[in-house]
Amino acid sequence: TKGAPVFDFGLGEDHDRMVGMCNASTGYYAVSVYDSNRNLTTVTSAIDISTGTHSIGHYFDGTRLDVFVDGVTYSTAGLSITFDTTLRDVGTIWMGGGFALAPTWTGNAMTDTAQLPSHANNGSCTWTGTGTEANCMSMQGGKLVQVEAGYASTDIGYYVKTISAVNATGTNLQYKGRVIHNGQAAYSTVPLTVGLRDGTKQVHTYLGEYYCVSDQSSVVVYPQADLKSYEFVLSIASKGSDYMTFLNRKLFVDGSANLIYTNATNALQWGDVDAQAGSNAGAVTSYVKWYVGGWNAPLFSAGSISEIAIWQGDKKYLWPLLYNSGSRISVKQLLGVNDNYLPKRTKTVVQMRNVTDSPSLSAGSGMTIPDMGCYVVGDNLEASLNMSLYPSGTDAAVSIAVNFDGAHPLATYYDWSDAYQNVPVGTYYSVMATGSIPKKTYLGLHHVTGMWSVNSGTVLGPKCSEHVNRLVVKSEV
């Protein structure tokens, strides 16, 4: 389709991105590259791809950009373009579509500066909270650092930026950052918030180390992702009663028709808005950007893709061979590969830990057991948890659970538990929980943890100086 992306690979909207477009007027295929410093380079072919069948290739090495269309190579040499190293690990590829080209940002709260966002030269944001900005935030290397130790136990502290969003036309918020530490909070409490309020509705996303919380509707979802190992780009699009959240330009939360929470404020906010004791977090923010006037929604191109192949390194010499003067040959034939899929298999992960500390708890909410967690790739998950509990109080109702973090929907964690009454002090008791996700979740990385709770008023916890705790997880890929 003229004016629509065909190929879109990247991390951000206006940086670390390569996008192939069908020109809106001529239909010529063109490739645009945004480097990490937001410099734009474009190579345009002279071939209309809006009709017929075509063979297309791309090659980029930081000094040159080559585009191959139907036997002809178009090239721009002598470039000096660098990408963010995280693009290699978390970049997302769209085929047969992608996002519109980068918008003109309405504002830029923080980018490459040594001054805090409250400073007039860096956004004039308002610091809000019980903690002081000087203690809770600092600028290091042009990035904003949320200092976990700078917050007192129940402090809050976050930035607010007044904007001129319009609910009916839509607003998009872009956040790039990384969660360093999520504090010692229950799984449902995430003390780093990125929020958008358009004067009518509000969208708040609470970010943790390996999951986030989205509760803009009556349905709360807890999507799973690694938000600690790398800097990520979060995009929140809000319009009318709909919202969508993209993580590294991949759909993360589909909130269509689920934006129900009203708010008359017209502002952005980010930081720690949670006053729960001991739930402070550390984070690094590279930028916060936004634009008003519609979503930067994905566009899809009419047509079909026969094959796609991605190689590491320079394989330009294969382009003419694949095109074969118009009599195209199969990528599978060229590589000698019979199948275009991976066979199904089952993997088992065993996690065993000797838990030596007993966390205190005086309520029945679930708390993660220290060190009793593992990561597994799959969609069908089963798990069993064996725990030796060492009581420090009597008349205790003990419950343990297997928590499949990232299952959708996950209004509450799925648990299978056993309870024991009148447990004597100083005696080990073995408890076991088993189960599986009631229905298949998405194929991807999931975090499976063991959790425990006791009745109100009792101090009790997993302790294993001489006993073995065991978590076994099976996944189908």
The 10 Å Cβ neighbour count of residue 466 is 9
**Residue carrying the six token digits 């088992």:** 348
Q: Is 215 exposed, middle or buried (0-12, 13-18, 19+ CB in 10 A)?
A: middle
CA angle 412, 406, 279 (to 5 degrees): 70
The 10 Å Cβ neighbour count of residue 83 is 20
pLDDT surpassing 60 at residue 360: no
For residues 8 and 97, the answer to whether their CB atoms sit within 8 Å is: yes
pLDDT-based confidence at residue 427 (cuts at 50, 70, 90): low
Cα(476)–Cα(31) distance, integer angstroms:
38
Phi and psi, residue 348, nearest 5° = -115, 130
pLDDT value of position 340: 72
For residues 236 and 253, the answer to whether their CB atoms sit within 8 Å is: no
pLDDT-based confidence at residue 231 (cuts at 50, 70, 90): very high
User: 130, 106, 128, 103: which is closest to 117 by C-alpha?
Assistant: 128
User: Residue 147 in 3-state DSSP?
Assistant: coil
Q: Is 348 exposed, middle or buried (0-12, 13-18, 19+ CB in 10 A)?
A: exposed
pLDDT value of position 337: 75
Cα(122)–Cα(141) distance, integer angstroms:
15
pLDDT-based confidence at residue 274 (cuts at 50, 70, 90): confident
Return the top range by mean pLDDT from 141-155, 201-215, 435-449.
141-155
CB neighbours of 444 closer than 8 A, spacing ≥ 6?
224, 377, 379, 406
**Residue carrying the six token digits 């893709």:** 305
Cα(102)–Cα(95) distance, integer angstroms:
18
Portion of the chain with pLDDT greater than 70, in percent: 76
* Helix spans in 120-269 (H): 133-136
The strand ranges marked E within 293-359 are: 298-300, 346-353
pLDDT averaged over every residue in the chain: 81
**Whether residue 391 has a cis bond before it, omega within 30° of 0:** no
**Residue carrying the six token digits 């001054």:** 115
pLDDT surpassing 80 at residue 10: yes
Number of Cα atoms under 13 Å in the Cβ half of residue 70 = 12
